[in-house]
């Protein structure tokens, strides 16, 4: 076997029982005292983020194992205006089998079940995705609530959630009203996310904060706390449509909010960076952040997701280079 059977910090594939829906955050009452007086030092956050990849070196077999883990955490996504049922079916086929049989054999993983963390689509694409993924164990996630701007009236946003859940979505990626963060209207933000959580029913709620739109790391921390108090099961950086999407200083701020919220409430919340990540090196940097700040449990798909479909192709190329010593052409690793 090329990949290590055991690794002191991370295994090649998730353990049994670490599926995507192990975590559920019950939420708390709105408690401004947990976040209103917290300051975030921008320069310190940037310094810490800049040293993450240099402080921990992951090489050779260990790097391959981390990259396989990254695959299991990817939300394979298509959110284009020209999406079709056929494109979604092809994406689902890739989610069920992200690595070729030849590469799995070369890595010594032919007996392992490797899939992506989920497939994420628009609500109208949920039915073909559910059908294509039936029996695979890969959940369907749906964006909702007027994605990406979130500026449609709340009743319609809640109806969109209920439509996606009734169609079979197991996870809902909602967008918040950024105005509530920019004006510090925390009761309105709390009530909005709480209503969305209730509309999700059994489906998990991932709250997209659109961090590129809310100006400061202090706002990022506060919005993270309010979303978690309202019951968000995951907090997510971005829609992928903002000018600035997932960057490590923002991720650092959000995962420390998760850590603080857990210490205060006893609840577990997952994290999803999304947008702007394209390479295997990016995947490693985010995994290192989770390992360093929250521990190995937050490198598992029930607590960590990567919203970066294009990253998968580069991960495949890096794994193939590790196994064969040669880089393959990128066209050999199409997503759909």
**Would you name the residues annotated as active-site residues?**
173, 236, 272
- CA–CA distance, 272 with 275 (Å, rounded to integer): 10
Q: What is the rounded CA–CA span in Å between residue 52 and residue 44?
A: 13
Cα separation values, 238 from 175, 177, 254, Å: 9, 13, 12
How far is the C-alpha of 315 from the C-alpha of 19, rounded, in Å? 22
The answer to whether 113 touches 132, Cβ cutoff 8 Å, is: no
Locus of tokens 């959940």? 139
CB atoms within 10 A of CB 102: 12
Rounded CA gap, 314 and 162, in Å? Answer: 36
b/e per residue 256-272 (b: at least 16 CB within 10 A) = bbbebbeebbebbbbbb
Q: How far apart are CA 52 and CA 292, in angstroms?
A: 8
How far is it, in rounded angstroms, from Cα 293 to Cα 211? 20
Beta bridge partners of 306: 74
Contact yes or no for 129/140 (Cβ under 8 A): yes
Please report how many Cα atoms fall inside a 13 Å half-sphere around the Cα of residue 214, on the Cβ side: 29
Q: Cα separation of 247 and 238, whole Å?
A: 10
Euclidean distance between CA atoms 307 and 325, whole angstroms? 28
Helix, coil or strand: residue 108: coil
| C-alpha to C-alpha distance for 15 and 4, rounded to whole angstroms | 15
Q: What is the C-alpha separation between 176 and 71, in angstroms, rounded?
A: 28
């Amino acid at each position: 076997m090329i990949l290590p059977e055991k690794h002191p910090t991370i295994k090649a594939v998730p353990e049994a029982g670490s599926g995507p829906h192990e975590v559920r955050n019950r939420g708390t009452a709105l408690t401004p005292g947990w976040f209103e007086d917290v300051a975030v030092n921008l320069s310190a956050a940037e310094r810490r983020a800049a040293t993450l990849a240099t402080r921990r070196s992951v090489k050779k077999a260990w790097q391959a194992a981390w990259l396989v883990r990254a695959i299991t955490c990817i939300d394979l996504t298509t959110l284009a205006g020209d999406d079709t049922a056929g494109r979604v079916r092809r994406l689902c086929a890739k989610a069920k089998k992200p690595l070729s049989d030849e590469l799995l054999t070369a890595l010594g993983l032919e007996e392992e079940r490797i899939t992506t963390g989920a497939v994420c689509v628009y609500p109208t694409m949920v039915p073909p995705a559910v059908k294509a993924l039936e029996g695979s164990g890969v959940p369907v996630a749906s964006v909702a609530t007027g994605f990406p701007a979130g500026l449609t009236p709340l009743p319609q946003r809640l109806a969109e959630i209920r439509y996606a859940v009734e169609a079979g979505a197991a996870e809902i990626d909602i967008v918040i009203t950024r105005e509530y963060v920019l004006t510090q209207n925390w009761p309105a933000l709390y009530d909005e996310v709480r209503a969305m959580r209730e509309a999700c029913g059994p489906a998990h709620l991932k709250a997209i904060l659109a961090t590129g739109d809310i100006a400061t790391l202090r706002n990022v921390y506060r919005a993270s706390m309010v979303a978690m108090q309202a019951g968000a099961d995951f907090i997510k950086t971005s829609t992928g449509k903002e000018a600035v999407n997932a960057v490590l200083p923002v991720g650092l701020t959000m995962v420390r909010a998760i850590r603080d919220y857990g210490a205060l409430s006893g609840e577990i919340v997952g994290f999803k960076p999304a947008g702007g990540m394209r390479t295997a090196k990016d995947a490693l940097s985010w995994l290192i952040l989770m390992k360093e700040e929250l521990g190995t449990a937050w490198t598992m798909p029930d607590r960590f997701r990567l919203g970066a479909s294009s990253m998968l192709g580069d991960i495949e190329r890096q794994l193939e280079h590790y196994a064969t010593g040669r880089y393959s052409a990128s066209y050999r690793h199409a997503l759909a």
